[in-house]
Chain A
Amino acid sequence: MANGKCAVIGDRDSILLFQAVGIEVYPETDGERANQIMHRLARTGYAVIYVTETLYPLCGETIAEFASEPYPAIIPIPDALGSKGTGMKTLKANVEKAVGVDILNNS
């Protein structure tokens, strides 16, 4: 069983807290650079990369590139300003792709 690493990318205010529990923190607000950081982390064997919802849509390139691999899992999380529903949107898109209709609302 390999030892996985875990990182967070986002704006400083939102992610500094993660440092306290031992997750590596990469403060970044610029989409282009965040994309580069994410790509580097994904290449170097990080298992999970959390990224704030603000940056998530800007890193589409890297996300698409690693979508077909089991690792890393790139997961959007809400930032200090609250959730914008990006994560739920991703889930909904997946459900619609797989089943054809959104089945989560009426359950």
Chain B
Amino acid sequence: MALQYKPTRMELSNLKKRRTVAVRGHKMMKDKRDELVRRFITYARRNQKLRQETEAKLQKAMQSFVLARAMMSSDEIEEALLYPARSISLDQSIQNVLSIPVPKLSLDRSQDEFVYPYGFATTGADLDTAVQALAEILPLMLELAEVEKATSRLADEIEKTRRRVNALEYVMIPQFDEAIHDIQMKLEENERGNTSRLMKTKEMLAKEAE
């Protein structure tokens, strides 16, 4: 769809201004997109590594837990785990990556010391292994959460930015170019019409004077 405009000088100068803005915006959007992609790749690689590591370790912990369940009765397990020694506490804040808010998490450092939530009388060693392993993975899991969220937010933003870049490059700017060209042509045409009218008038005046 072409732009609606009147062929006047005023409109022409307005369009030219808007085109300049569009071109500058396009350049900035493009730079933003490139930088986003660069950072995204770093995040994505880290995400991949973290996920592989976390999944492997988590599965090990869960296997120990399955063994523990086999050794103990369900009631005993529930009793041992039902009441946690402490509840987890996170430091939660927001980090800015190119004005995209992404989460930043860390474990509350005052709680580094790990405590088993149960006595050792009724529980087996497998349960200890599982709980210990999980406690060790915890920081890793938080980092994974942080990085994974950042990755998906960046991916969304890159897609949006790319759409804007394309809209400017292939729709807005060509439309402006076309409109500016049209107006210039029309103005020139008017100018020529004017000149030929003047020549004609001059001719007629000259004839009258004879």
**CB < 8 Å A-B pair total:** 150
Does B172 belong to the interface (CB within 8 Å)? no
CB distance B159 to A98 under 8 Å? yes
Q: Mark B132-157, 1 if CB is under 8 A from A, else 0.
A: 00110010011011101101111110
A83 and B55 in contact (CB under 8 A), knowing A50-B141, A97-B159, A99-B41?
Answer: yes
Proximity bits, A4-34, B CB within 8 Å = 1, else 0: 1110000001101111111110000000000
Interface SS of A by simple majority:
mixed
Query: Which residue of chain B is the closest to A16 with respect to CB atoms?
Result: B81
Interface on A for B, CB 8 Å cutoff?
A: 1-6, 13-14, 16-24, 47-48, 50, 67-68, 70-71, 73, 75, 77-80, 82-83, 87-88, 90-91, 94-95, 97-99, 103-104, 107
Point out residues on B near A: beta carbons under 8 Å: 36-37, 40-41, 44-45, 47-48, 51, 54-55, 58-59, 61-62, 65-66, 69, 77-78, 80-82, 84-94, 101-103, 105, 108, 114, 116-118, 130-131, 134-135, 138, 141-142, 144-146, 148-149, 151-156, 158-159
Sample of 24 A–B contacts (CB below 8 Å): A2-B93, A4-B90, A4-B92, A5-B88, A16-B77, A16-B78, A17-B81, A19-B84, A20-B135, A21-B88, A21-B134, A21-B135, A23-B88, A48-B90, A67-B152, A73-B103, A77-B141, A78-B58, A78-B59, A87-B51, A91-B47, A97-B158, A103-B44, A104-B48
